[in-house]
Structure 1
């Protein structure tokens, strides 16, 4: 069974769900996995538009081939170190961010989502575990379909719900 690897930590007084993954690769290579649309689509979805405008449309194609676009505001982009942005889901908008730290052993990805009051950490946590493991599989050249959703949800639901702020 897949184990919980996330934590909830306060950053600037607000709870953030934090997950990490390590890669035997450069930060620049992992940055591309997270920001280049055709590489991103291998494990979660694609974006369209001009990032220089400050917004792009994101399509979560891993959930559906005909996914509806979600506007994403780019708040911070410091390649290959840090990225932050907000989805446009109104009161339920998500603030997502990641940081890459490279050392002699490779690169550590720290991924975070600021949690809004009342959000269901019991489904959000397993979801990000699943997608980040798909990222690892894609980066390693493996078939992302080998990462099975049923290994994450509902298996990790209660453990993540226990982390709720």
Structure 2
């Protein structure tokens, strides 16, 4: 079964865009927070990391579901438990600015996963990856089967390319 893409791309400035993906959890934010901040839990759906995380500090992250198991350096730009985590990721391909926002709602927790971008065209390949990883997070938290990346890419590429084009054509909000 092909999962439906949920991400949206919005223009946030002259040369800035956000890829935003949403997920919901039945638990409160404090219970979901360790999925992003506890190395044993992040290893279940994304990657393992080493070093002590502190705001302004760095950790080394190994992506466990990517070919070659690559490492990235991650700077913790903001950390407000259990609401906000902003990470600046550097690897051999460049840098990524990621934001994880959790908020309690009557039914549990709402997650907004935001990838800040300068080039919206990058989402045609990045978007399917984040859909896969966030569905992998959902499976890890629920005990369900892990998704298969082949169900996300290249099938979601056209959807995200259309999102990027619409965002690039939208008026500058400034």
Q: TM-score, normalization: structure 2?
A: 0.86
Kindly report structure 1 stretches of 4+ aligned residues shifted beyond 4 Å: none
Q: Which runs of 5+ in 1 are unaligned?
A: none
Q: CA RMSD in A?
A: 1.8
8 Å contact 1:55–1:72 — kept in the other structure? yes
1:75: which partner in 2?
A: 77
Does the residue aligned with 1:97 lie in a helix, a strand or coil? strand
Question: Alignment length, in residue pairs?
Answer: 162
Aligned partners of 1:151, 1:36: CA distance in 2, in Å? 28
| Distance in 1 between residues matched to 2:128 and 2:70, nearest whole Å | 22
Who is 2:37 aligned against? Answer: 35
Distance 1:58 1:153 in 2: 23
Task: Please state how far the C-alpha of 1:91 moved relative to its aligned partner.
Answer: 7.4
Contact 2:17 / 2:119 at 8 angstroms: preserved in 1?
no
Partner of 1:155: 155
1:17 and 2:16 equivalent? no
* Cα deviation code 1:111-142 (max 9, x no counterpart): 01011326521110000000000000000012
88-97 or 125-134, larger mean C-alpha shift: 88-97
**Cα displacement (A) at 1:81:** 0.1
Q: Does 1:55 align with 2:58?
A: yes
Q: 3-state DSSP class of the match of 2:119?
A: coil
Shift of 1:55: 0.5
